[in-house]
Amino acid sequence: MTQTLTIARMGHHGDGIADTPNGAVFVPGALPGEVVRGEVKDGRVESFELVEASADRRPIFSEAYAECGVAPLQHWADAPYLEWKRDVVIHTLQREGLETEVAATVATPPASRRRIALHARRGPNGRILLGFKARRSWRLVEINECPISDPALVAVFPTLRRIADVFLTHPKSAPTLHATLTDTGVDVDVTGVEKRSGGPSADQIARAISAAAEGDLARLSLDGDTLVMARQPRVTFGRASVPIPAGGFLQASPAAEAAMVERVVAAVKGHKKVADLFCGAGTFTFPLAEVASVTAADSAASSIAAMKAAFPTAKGLKGIEAQARDLFRRPLSPYDLKGCDAIVLDPPRAGALEQTQQLPGTKADTIVGVSCNPQTFARDARVLVDAGFRLEAVTPIDQFIWSTHIELVGVFRR
């Protein structure tokens, strides 16, 4: 049934919401205050006519990104968009009964993202397509430019197509090319290549290596196994130059990373020993080691090895001890964390419930949580608050611009 709707507010998943006698109706792409007309089906309007536009609506940066949903909020002006992300964090905390100061959302600039993952398919005419899946579909939306990514990443798209062409010979292969911009060039890891039938031939590998050389890639790997490395991909964390392992994790935006590092280090200044849990290859570890000695742990042995390899490049640090350990199955106990007067956690989206439950038994008076999921952050924060910690402040950070994704840094004091 076609209805005219007034959008009352923005939902937590980035859909405009209209209140009707039959309940809420979700309208992707609509903004608060707008009047739209469209067919309502199962409480949603997938395509609408814009009857009255919001003053906060602006021209989009990329039609392709609008189609695939990578940047579903690119049509919203910066100020209300950033304030909405702050409100999402506030409401998520409130659902757990948590009240605290929530700072303004820290913005990151366009054309600054340093990693991108592109699906590859062969088009009807044999041309290689790189892009993202369309919203609610398996259809591929081709990406030829990217207003979000660093131009140096966009510049290697032709090389990525040549590499994808090599690995698309098997009908079951569906390659995804993970490109990361490092201090020494672009690092590419390819996943989704069919291997059960024998995997790529020696000739295919040779052609992929040739394409990587022609494109001046720093490294090309297949499922984390290096095929060729012209230069060791390295990134700078604090004073250290870290050799990133193939397929290793990095924060998506250097600007967002810098904002997080600044707040984490500021929160623990004055402490003597800090635990950095879910540390990766040392994003926070090396900056923290400039102000305190650090005990670091992460489940990825390759990341811990990269961190240790970087020790000689960083001078004047307070000291770092690092270990590979699954903090979900074997969280560090209060005994393991003996002597740590501050603790930093940067877990994956699932949060760190098992590890968080160990922290009240430590002597730490400061805990800093870095999270890419406000829901699991709030769940874990409830554990700490119930144990006597106070959630002092939270800062949202817009690492994935124009998306519904929210990063944050929260500081707890005992």
Q: What residues are annotated to the active site? A: 372
* N- to C-terminal Cα separation, the chain: 55
State the Cα–Cα distance between residues 375 and 381, nearest whole angstrom. Answer: 10
Question: Quick one: tokens of 174?
Answer: 């569906």
Which letter does DSSP use for residue 332 in this model?
A: P
Half-sphere exposure of 95 (CA within 13 A, CB side): 13
Q: Which long-range contacts (CB under 8 A, 24 or more apart) does 101-104 make?
A: 101/392, 101/393, 101/394, 102/393, 102/394, 102/395, 102/396, 103/393, 103/394, 103/395, 103/396
CA dist 70 → 79, 143, 263, 400 (Å): 20, 11, 28, 9
**3-class secondary-structure state, position 318:** coil
Q: Are 282 and 243 in contact (CB under 8 A)?
A: no
Distance CA 266, CA 294 (A): 15
